Structure 1
């Protein structure tokens, strides 16, 4: 849990409308910076850890976001994939959570499934969120209580109520009907496809292109903070595999697993996720 005192909005000089304007402007500019590297090509890259690439573009976007947002909002906390974590953020009622380029692997491969993720979190919940995928010309935005948009137009999750007709955003190999990982198999007819960026996957559920996303691999705050609010404001739901809502700005900013879906599919998804998690947790007992 966070040690932060509840945020005092009355003493804050910036209301959420001002925060929304700042986030939209800064995220758009960050997208232009990332796109300039993408178009140029020949980007210097290295591995932060095995099979975990980062590039000069990630670092340039991170520097721009950190400098601009923190100069405009002194006293706010900061958490980014590409910045060393500082414990001071835990005492902040409001903080920025960003992923300078979510989907770096696809970015470096010349693909389109990557973007910039920016969230303003207040009292452990996102209140402003943007995700911008420049190559796809897709700018997702949400403000708590005011809905979600794609390129300025309102979006909503699908009304699909059956997994047999569902469009799952995930690794097709992981959801094969014959996979031994799932005690209760997924339907053979379920359509499944992959995108490198987890935030983009969730946003494409928010706009109804897909119906659900299940990943039992851990995800960090910066992976999902913005997408969490965008999906919620579009009428969807993001939880852990145990159906707990996500809290951000904790000491360890990590979520063990992620379930994102339109509401109608949640029961059928959990019919498969719950026994799979039980099997996984009991494997060494």
Structure 2
């Protein structure tokens, strides 16, 4: 079996495109991708299931084709990873890589809701350096470049700065946080929770201070969180796994076991609940009786 060697560290001096050039391109293509998605929105589109309870529609593929064609034609030598494109191992040799979710939140899209958007990230040396998430129905365009802060519709954003979990606003399934079977250490009953279909949108709403934190113990792929990871961090927040490890992108298996996004002041009380939950989860998993993760 052929083994691909890890990509050498990206040499910006020899690249014909600066991050400023890439920033301009990402803004343009993400806005246009939003217009394409809206042309299918609230219409009778073709829908099928990639796997049980995992719908996809023709809009996903139309947006994916536009992004892949436009980005790859304009950036020769960059890699590509998308939810709707067959993964190619050659991406592991690329110092710069596009990571795309053409429509994150397809279920909401199909239901005529507003909790969906287009996620585009440029990853360099396994870290996002340019990122956009566009939720057209919400009229919310989030953007970040490494070291330059984050914006929504061109205005700077920052996390809430909350330090009290009892009054925190959690982006996640309210019923899951009340279920004692998941959490050996319970969440405060006064904590507010709200769900959104798109994980990227959930994280962006932490970045702009609408919510204070987001926790999911379900695995997420690179394309789910690459753009939002940078947007949250550039807004002053933290994004980690449930083990407090930073997210690393463009690995052979582009999957993250769990996601925690938060204001720094809430990370300790959140982990006081997440870490025991993960330990209990793995114990139950070993006995074959683990329930679905929240």
Interval containing the TM-score (normalised by the shorter chain)? over 0.9
Q: Which residue of 2 aligns with 1:35?
A: 38
Q: Which residue of 2 aligns with 1:109?
A: 111
- Please give the alpha-carbon distance, in whole angstroms, between the structure 2 residues aligned to 1:203 and 1:181: 25
Q: Which residue of 2 aligns with 1:19?
A: 22
SS in 1 for 2:252: coil
- Please give the alpha-carbon distance, in whole angstroms, between the structure 2 residues aligned to 1:180 and 1:46: 33
Q: Which residue of 1 aligns with 2:101?
A: 99
Q: Deviations over 1:208-254 (max 9, x none)?
A: 00000000000000000000000000000110000000000000000
Moved over 2 A (4+): none
- Please give the alpha-carbon distance, in whole angstroms, between the structure 1 residues aligned to 2:30 and 2:265: 32
Counterpart pick for 2:162 among 160, 164, 167: 160
Q: Which residue of 2 aligns with 1:79?
A: 81
Counterpart pick for 1:64 among 60, 66, 85: 66
- Please give the alpha-carbon distance, in whole angstroms, between the structure 1 residues aligned to 2:172 and 2:158: 20
Q: Which residue of 1 aligns with 2:277?
A: 276
- Please give the alpha-carbon distance, in whole angstroms, between the structure 2 residues aligned to 1:2 and 1:115: 34
Structure 1: unaligned runs, 5 residues or longer:
none
Displacement of 1:54: 0.5
Q: Which residue of 1 aligns with 2:249?
A: 248
Counterpart pick for 1:5 among 8, 12, 18: 8
SS in 1 for 2:41: helix
- Please give the alpha-carbon distance, in whole angstroms, between the structure 2 residues aligned to 1:206 and 1:212: 9
Q: How does 1:254-273 map to 2 (within 5 A)?
A: 254-273=255-274
For the 8 Å contact 1:98–1:118, the answer to whether it is kept is: yes
CA RMSD of aligned residues (A): 1.0
Displacement of 1:281: 1.3
- Please give the alpha-carbon distance, in whole angstroms, between the structure 2 residues aligned to 1:149 and 1:251: 31
SS in 2 for 1:282: helix
SS in 1 for 2:102: strand
Displacement of 1:180: 2.1
- Please give the alpha-carbon distance, in whole angstroms, between the structure 2 residues aligned to 1:26 and 1:42: 25
- Please give the alpha-carbon distance, in whole angstroms, between the structure 1 residues aligned to 2:6 and 2:263: 33
Q: Which residue of 1 aligns with 2:191?
A: 190
Displacement of 1:278: 0.8
Residues paired across the two proteins, number: 283
Q: Deviations over 1:90-142 (max 9, x none)?
A: 00000100000000000000000000000000000000000000000000000
Q: Which residue of 2 aligns with 1:234?
A: 235
Q: Which residue of 1 aligns with 2:291?
A: none
- Please give the alpha-carbon distance, in whole angstroms, between the structure 2 residues aligned to 1:174 and 1:149: 31
- Please give the alpha-carbon distance, in whole angstroms, between the structure 2 residues aligned to 1:159 and 1:68: 38
Structure 2: unaligned runs, 5 residues or longer:
288-294
TM-score (structure 2 length as normaliser): 0.95
Q: Which residue of 1 aligns with 2:219?
A: 218
